[in-house]
Amino acid sequence: MAVRKALIRLEDLGPGGHYESPEEQRKLGAVTDLLYAEAIPFHAAVISRFVDPGKRIDRTIAAPQDAVSARFLSLLHRWSAMGASLGMHGYTHQFGASVSGEGYEFAYPGCNEDCPPDAAAYTLGRFRAACVSFLAAGLRPDWFETPHYAASASQRKILEACSCVIYEDNPAAPGSRKVTVAASRSRIGNTYYVPTPLSYVGGASVERDVVRIIRETENYGDDDLASFFFHPFLEFPYIRLQDDGRVLYAEDSPLRQITGAMKAMGRRFVTVHVSKNLFTMS
């Protein structure tokens, strides 16, 4: 009997924004500790350089010279030791005056000002910078994800050549519930797209999206990937940090509702792996 797979990706994780203070970072660690304790492997979409021009913030995991970056890097190494799959979510997930996690990084339709260039050198430079940041931090990225799933056709060909796994919906196979292969190839073999057909939980529609994801999963076939992404800060209101070091985590949190329902449906959470040019999920 085929394994009915589920995948979870924790989205937009970097040394800033919602994950800047010691309390926020401790709660972020509590989310991943819960997943690990419940034997749910997870993926982490990492913004390796966090930039907020308005606040003059520019932090990188490659050179954690302040406490925020150092604490975040410690979390990354902890997740790696847990067996989590770490990926590059662009390099800065922004361009120009935009803030990391909010802005676009590659070319996208409808841009009227402060637009990322549609240039090969720029695209390759961003990919390389993200790789260098990971390696300098003592980490190995397993995949790449474009910010907001946006890049021009020419940029996408370059990114496909650089990464054998792109963890996002394949523009050539919209709506797919299965892993697809790109027309172009990476330098070491096929380029695989791992989709997130269940989309994500929006900050303004948490309860509605939790119900939607669970109901949609109920109608998925055995070979369909129950794949979604989630912003961990949405769990923070359900986590209480105690003075004695204990963590109280509400059982009705959005993430716990989704993962619990998927497990009850017989879904098994898996992670992506690439080894000797072979792509697998286990």
Which domains occur in the chain, in start order? 5-281 (3.20.20.370)
What does the pLDDT read at residue 277? 58
Taken in order 127, 128, 133, 135, the sign of the CA dihedral is positive
CB 107 within 8 A of CB 155: yes
Spell 90-125 as b/e; 16+ CB within 10 A means b.
bbbbbbeebbbbebbbbbbeeeeeeebebeeebbee
DSSP helix/strand/coil, 43? strand
What does the pLDDT read at residue 1? 61
CB 205 within 8 A of CB 254: no
**266's tokens:** 């017989």
Burial of 10 (0-12, 13-18, 19+ CB in 10 A): buried
**6's tokens:** 């589920």
Point out the residues of the chain with pLDDT beneath 70.
1, 274-278
DSSP helix/strand/coil, 245? coil
What does the pLDDT read at residue 52? 98
CB 13 within 8 A of CB 235: no
User: Up-side HSE of residue 107: CA atoms within 13 Å toward CB?
Assistant: 14
CB 25 within 8 A of CB 15: no
**Dist. CA 220–CA 197, nearest whole Å:** 10
CB 48 within 8 A of CB 91: yes
pTM of the model as a whole: 0.96
What does the pLDDT read at residue 276? 57
**241's tokens:** 């940090």
CB 40 within 8 A of CB 259: yes
Amino acid at residue number 201: V
**Dist. CA 95–CA 280, nearest whole Å:** 33
Residues 6+ apart with CB under 8 A from 263: 269
CB 72 within 8 A of CB 61: yes
What does the pLDDT read at residue 245? 84
What does the pLDDT read at residue 113? 85
